[in-house]
Amino acid sequence: MSGRMIGRAAPLVVALAVLAGWEALVTLREIPSYILPAPSRIAATLWSDRTILLASLLVTLKTTFAALATSAVTSLVLAILFRQSRWVERSLYPYAVILQVTPIVAIAPLILIYVEDPFAVMLVCATIVAFFPILSNTMLGLRSVDPGLEDLFRLQGAGRWQVMWLLRLPSALPYFLGGLRIAGGLALIGAVVAEFVSSTTAGGATGLAWRIIEAGQRLNVPRMFAALALIAASGIAIFALLTAISQFVLRRWHDSERKD
Amino acid sequence: MSLLRIAGLSHRFAGGTLALDGLNLGLERGEFLSVLGPSGCGKSTLLRLIMGLETPTTGALAWAGGVPPRFGVVFQEPTLMPWADVIDNVALPLRLAGAGRAAREAAAREAIDLVGLSGFERAVPRELSGGMRMRVSIARAFVGNPELLLLDEPFAALDEITRLRLDDELRALATARGLTVVFVTHSVFESVYLSTRIAVMTPRPGHVAAEITVERAGAGADFRASAGYARQCGVVSDRLAEVMAA
Ligand SMILES: Nc1ncnc2c1ncn2[C@@H]1O[C@H](COP(=O)(O)OP(=O)(O)OP(=O)(O)O)[C@@H](O)[C@H]1O
Ligand SMILES: [Mg+2]
């Protein structure tokens, strides 16, 4: 029990030590806050600018979750289609790989030209960044079926779609959820990058990335750090949320969630 | 009355392994046939050919009436869906056949009761012991009211005590329902205890080298304790040794 407590506390201890060192460094050397703000100053900024920062946080989170949902649905549908038809897989899968390996900052300017709605631009960008791990994990899951169960389904005269719904999809669920966990962080990264790229256009996003650029132009370094802290905290929260969902869904049957 | 005639059956796998070579075997309705042979001699392959999961390279399987009967199968592993509870696992054959929920549940409960798992309907496989999982698998084989039961070393991974009990349960069920059973095993004792007839296979490439009829008459209630049982185990053992040496 004490071992687990120490395990939980260890990252916190590291964080506290780093923050204390940082605070001491800034105070002793009298570094001005427009070069490096002390943690206390960042915390104060988080509080004083809370209205503006929270509004931006909501914008970024909205993009992130919309992109995550879009990725999950498209990946699932594509993975099922790929499984059911080898021709569909052969025709489309290479493009999924190409989208995955091409840097989003190179694609985004193009999307900006063809898509008008700023939210749609960010949604498309973040989805492109996030979907691949779900797709490839789900495809792997749909293939990773107990061969004995496959034989059994065949013996009982199961049809193609019965095998899909009753055998392949449940077998793929842990893989899908694993992909979702990776995609959560990627969707956030995609949303932030999309904001950066589209910030040059008027009437663009007003998310956290945009706040960072804006604050940078005004040399408001504490607010840059405050926005950055919010992005990092969101990433951790999204990961924790998706992990909890996965644990809840798989708690009864899957080995990965076994409590020993 | 003959249910199945297997004649000149050979099976070569894609990799080139000749698993079965010139196997002849008949199966009578209502009999309990054990297929006994050393590891790797092609017992599982034979069963998969009977199930129709593999197509023979040469030779033929001729079913009475031209079509295979309804069969239930039990593999060496329980082969359960880990995400589904006992009821859903047992009811799977009915679900795949398109039966309604109520009918499925009723039949599944009956089969679960048959193997003594009442009270565990809502448990998932992970919450069951190895022997209980095997019984779920047996219940699933029974749920579709099979005429022919095909079992591939179903109890091989279990401890002796559980295994003896499941042997008894299986025998009682098969007798009560008048089933035809093909039971693959590499245990001489299990085959003598369970069967009406034993087919002894040669090492790979396998064929049936000897067929022995088991005599249970006059053994009393406890066949395992009878002198006849011990004597027949000796006979089967000797035949197996001869086949291995040949
Ligand atoms: N899918 C396969 N592809 C190629 N060779 C196979 C395949 N399955 C089985 N074999 C080979 O066929 C032979 C017979 O295998 P089989 O599984 O039928 O043996 P068995 O009698 O059931 O053995 P055991 O008692 O160990 O289960 C073996 O030599 C094995 O290597
Ligand atoms: Mg085998």
For the stretch A161-220, pLDDT in tens is 999 999 999 999 999 999 999 999 999 999 998 888 877 654 556 889 989 999 999 999
Is residue A90 situated within a structural domain? yes
Is residue A14 situated within a structural domain? yes
- Write out the residue range of the structural domain in which residue A209 sits: 38-250
The finding on whether B41 has its CB within 6 A of some atom of ligand 1 is: yes
Task: State the average pLDDT over residues B143-162.
Answer: 87
Task: State the average pLDDT over residues B75-96.
Answer: 95
Q: Whose CA is nearest to atom 6 of ligand 1?
A: B13
* Predicted pLDDT at A1: 53
Is residue A214 situated within a structural domain? yes
Interface test with A, best of B96, B104, B127, B134 (most A CBs within 10 A): B96
| CA B183/CA B151 separation, integer angstroms | 5
Task: State the average pLDDT over residues B145-173.
Answer: 87
pLDDT-derived band of residue A108, with 50, 70 and 90 as boundaries?
confident
| CA A88/CA A17 separation, integer angstroms | 54
Question: Given the structure tokens 């291995």, which residue do they identify?
Answer: B244
* Predicted pLDDT at A205: 60
A122 and A193 in one domain?
Answer: yes
Looking at this predicted complex, what is its ipTM? 0.89
Whether residues B126 and A252 touch (CB distance < 8 A) is answered with: yes
Q: Whose CA is nearest to atom 24 of ligand 1?
A: B39
Task: State the average pLDDT over residues A143-157.
Answer: 94
3-class SS string, chain B:
CEEEEEEEEEEECCCCCEEEEEEEEEEECCCEEEEECCCCCCHHHHHHHHHCCCCCCEEEEEEHHHCCCCEEEECCCCCCCCCCCHHHHHCHHHHHCCCCHHHHHHHHHHHHHHCCCCCCCCCCHHHCCHHHHHHHHHHHHHHCCCCEEEEECCCCCCCHHHHHHHHHHHHHHHHHHCCEEEEEECCHHHHHHHCCEEEEECCCCECEEEEEECCCCCCCCCHHHCHHHHHHHHHHHHHHHHHHHC
pLDDT-derived band of residue A56, with 50, 70 and 90 as boundaries?
very high
Tell me the count of A-B CB pairs closer than 8 A.
50
* pLDDT of B224 above 90: no
* pLDDT of A2 above 80: no
Which residue, among A150, A147, A139, has the nearest Cα to A176 in the 3D structure? A139
Contact predicate A195/A208, CB 8 Å: yes
**From the CA of B41, how many Å to the nearest CA of chain A?**
20
Whole-structure pTM value: 0.87
Please tell me the total count of domains within chain A: 2
Beta carbons within 8 Å of B23's beta carbon, 6+ residues apart:
B6, B8, B9, B10, B42, B46, B59, B201, B206, B207, B208
* Predicted pLDDT at B144: 85
A55 and A143 in one domain?
Answer: yes
Is residue A183 situated within a structural domain? yes
A224 and A188 in one domain?
Answer: yes
Is residue A168 situated within a structural domain? yes
Whether residues A253 and B51 touch (CB distance < 8 A) is answered with: no
* Predicted pLDDT at A201: 57
Centroid of ligand 2 to alpha carbon of B16 (angstroms): 18
Is residue A259 situated within a structural domain? no
Cβ neighbour number for residue A251 with a 10 Å cutoff: 11
* Predicted pLDDT at A259: 60
pLDDT-derived band of residue B165, with 50, 70 and 90 as boundaries?
confident
Q: Mind listing the pLDDT tens digit for each residue in B10-46?
A: 999 999 899 999 999 999 999 999 999 988 899 999 9
A166 and A58 in one domain?
Answer: yes
Q: Which two tokens stand for residue A209?
A: 């990335």
The finding on whether B205 has its CB within 6 A of some atom of ligand 1 is: no
pLDDT-derived band of residue A36, with 50, 70 and 90 as boundaries?
very high
A43 and A22 in one domain?
Answer: no
Closest residue of B to A151, CA-based? B53
A123 and A1 in one domain?
Answer: no
Longest dimension (CA), chain B: 56
A151 and A78 in one domain?
Answer: yes
A93 and A26 in one domain?
Answer: no
Is residue A96 situated within a structural domain? yes
A245 and A187 in one domain?
Answer: yes
Which residues 158-217 of chain A have a CB within 8 Å of chain B? 158, 162, 166-167, 170, 173
Side chain identity at residue B175, one-letter code: T
Tell whether B103 lies on the interface with A, counting CB pairs under 8 A: no
A165 and A81 in one domain?
Answer: yes
* Predicted pLDDT at A83: 93
* Predicted pLDDT at B136: 95
The finding on whether B52 has its CB within 6 A of some atom of ligand 1 is: no
| CA A154/CA B78 separation, integer angstroms | 16
* pLDDT of A76 above 80: yes
A185 and A232 in one domain?
Answer: yes
Is residue A257 situated within a structural domain? no
CA gyration radius, chain B = 18
Tell me the percentage of chain A whose pLDDT exceeds 70. Answer: 95
* Predicted pLDDT at A104: 87
Point out the least confidently predicted range of A37-41, B149-153, B217-221. B217-221
Q: Mind listing the pLDDT tens digit for each residue in B102-128?
A: 999 999 999 999 888 999 999 999 999
Residue-averaged pLDDT of chain B: 91
* Predicted pLDDT at A185: 95
A233 and A142 in one domain?
Answer: yes
Residue A64, domain CATH: 1.10.3720.10
| CA A213/CA A217 separation, integer angstroms | 6
Tell whether B77 lies on the interface with A, counting CB pairs under 8 A: yes
3-class SS string, chain A:
CHHHHHHHHHHHHHHHHHHHHHHHHHHHHCCCCCCCCCHHHHHHHHHHCHHHHHHHHHHHHHHHHHHHHHHHHHHHHHHHHHHHCHHHHHHHHHHHHHHHHCCHHHHHHHHHHHCCCHHHHHHHHHHHHHHHHHHHHHHHHHHCCCHHHHHHHHHCCCCHHHHHHHHHHHHHHHHHHHHHHHHHHHHHHHHHHHHHHHCCCCCCCCCHHHHHHHHHHCCCHHHHHHHHHHHHHHHHHHHHHHHHHHHHHHCCCCHHHCCC
